[in-house]
Structure 1
Amino acid sequence: MGRADLKPAIVETAAKCFARNGVDATSIDQIAHEMGASKGKVYHHFSSKGALLLAVRRQSIWSVLHRVKPVAETPAPTPNRFLAMAEAHVMGILADLPYHRVVVENLRAGLVKDLPTHERVMLSEIKELQASYEDLFRDVIASGQKDTSFRQQSVSITVNSVIVLLNAPIFWYQPRPDDSEESHREIATHLARMALGTLT
């Protein structure tokens, strides 16, 4: 595995280790051992466990953003567009479950206030990325209210509530040996329709 391929592999392994054992109980040594690399190779890309954790958080957003944004930019009728966006979001959650579970644990634990400068920069970038992602749903919900597809209600409250609903599998879904694209799609469709119901 070349250096160009190592960084995403480190982040993926860290996400799995953090999700399985907890962030506090996971060391850089354990992450390196799990991926069959030296600790030095991990530190070559990430100066601390905190930086690696932030990389996992950033990837959790990208895992849904790259699925949802193309759908959000289609010219479909507003309810159809929202439904497709919601399904894409849930499919991203199910595909990369460890990343999202780590984010939930991290947010529950609270953020460390005295972060090194480079980690503060990463955190700022993550917050901007998260906001831009939420704006995709904010825009489609506002459009639906404007064209009367959706009922009038607080857009901010609705966006946050919809995303919480679509994130539900983070808390209760347990991967199974017979998992498939079809089984994930069934869950995604069900939750997307529930979310659409809160708007109409």
Structure 2
Amino acid sequence: MPKPTKSTRPKGWRKAEIIDAAAQCFMERGYHATSVDDVANRMNATKGRIYHHYATKTDLFFDVHREGMARLFAAIAPVLEDTSLGPRNRLIGLLQAHARAMMDHHTFETVVAQGVQVHRFDQTTEDQRQTMRDLISTRDDFESIFKTALQQAVDAGQVAPCDTSVTVKVLLGGLQWSLFWYRPKPRETAADRADLADKMVAPLIHGLTAPD
């Protein structure tokens, strides 16, 4: 396959390359053990190329986190847009889409899991503290989508009554745990990951089943 030329590369491809390389480094080494040198070495580039776009490693980490969250929102969007789904099936669809995204974007979602916890107690600038608040708000918005779906299923009598806030944290936390045990297999397909996602969601939904 011919190498893309400058004219055929999408706008923003330079930053996208940096974010992708940084995600790999943060996943493998963790935030604190990763340096800008590590990211530059992975790209076979100079630190100057990275500093052209990012003033600090923290700013780069934040962009990796934003990209990871954007991919999660994109993964569940088709379910939200499907008006044919009833409340219970919408909840199932959201959980399955989230589970697949954790596998499809394993690198980025591992960094999201590190997320704000990495920086919550770090000494940061006011701008960085505001960025942390924004990231937390985005995560809360994502969680709220599942709370709404769960409450609608409860109201429809399709799911047993529960504390929606606590339950959603348990549901999403259970799926997020796959970051620690899931590893892509050779020749694994999207269908394989979808099947695994179904198996991950099934026991969670069974535990929510409303009594007859």
Q: Do structure 1's residue 184 and structure 2's residue 193 form an aligned pair?
A: yes
Provide Cα deviations, 1:64-115, integer angstroms capped at 9, x if missing partner: 1111133124221111111111111011110111122223345665623431
- Equivalent residue number for residue 93 of structure 2: 84
Give 3-state SS (helix, strand or coil) of 2:32's partner: coil
Match for 2:145: what amino acid? L
Distance 1:57 1:171, change over 3 A: same
- CA distance in structure 1 between the aligned counterparts of 2:78 and 2:191, rounded to whole angstroms: 21
Structure 2: tracts of 5 or more residues without a match = 1-5
Q: Which of 149, 155, 162 is matched with 1:153 structurally?
A: 162
Give 3-state SS (helix, strand or coil) of 2:157's partner: coil
Give 3-state SS (helix, strand or coil) of 1:45's partner: coil
CA displacement at 1:36 relative to structure 2: 2.6
Distance 1:198 1:58, change over 3 A: farther
- Equivalent residue number for residue 27 of structure 1: 35
CA displacement at 1:41 relative to structure 2: 1.6
Q: Which of 128, 131, 136 is matched with 1:122 structurally?
A: 131
- CA distance in structure 2 between the aligned counterparts of 1:82 and 1:106, rounded to whole angstroms: 25
**RMSD after superposition:** 1.9
The equivalences for 1:30-41 within 5 A come to: 30-41=38-49
- CA distance in structure 1 between the aligned counterparts of 2:118 and 2:58, rounded to whole angstroms: 13
- Equivalent residue number for residue 202 of structure 2: 193
Q: Please say if residues 137 and 159 of structure 1, whose CA atoms lie closer than 8 Å, have aligned partners that are also in contact.
A: yes
Q: Please say if residues 72 and 136 of structure 1, whose CA atoms lie closer than 8 Å, have aligned partners that are also in contact.
A: no
Q: Do structure 1's residue 61 and structure 2's residue 69 form an aligned pair?
A: yes
* Moved >6 Å (runs of 4+): none
Match for 2:56: what amino acid? S
Match for 2:64: what amino acid? V
Provide Cα deviations, 1:104-137, integer angstroms capped at 9, x if missing partner: 3456656234312332232122111111111110
Q: Taking every aligned residue pair, what percent have the same amino acid on both sides?
A: 23
> Which structure is richer in relative contact order (CA contacts within 8 A, separation 6 or more)?
1
- CA distance in structure 2 between the aligned counterparts of 1:166 and 1:9, rounded to whole angstroms: 28
Provide Cα deviations, 1:11-30, integer angstroms capped at 9, x if missing partner: 11111011112222221011
Which structure is higher in helix share?
1
Distance 1:117 1:26, change over 3 A: same
- CA distance in structure 1 between the aligned counterparts of 2:77 and 2:99, rounded to whole angstroms: 13
Structure 1: tracts of 5 or more residues without a match = none
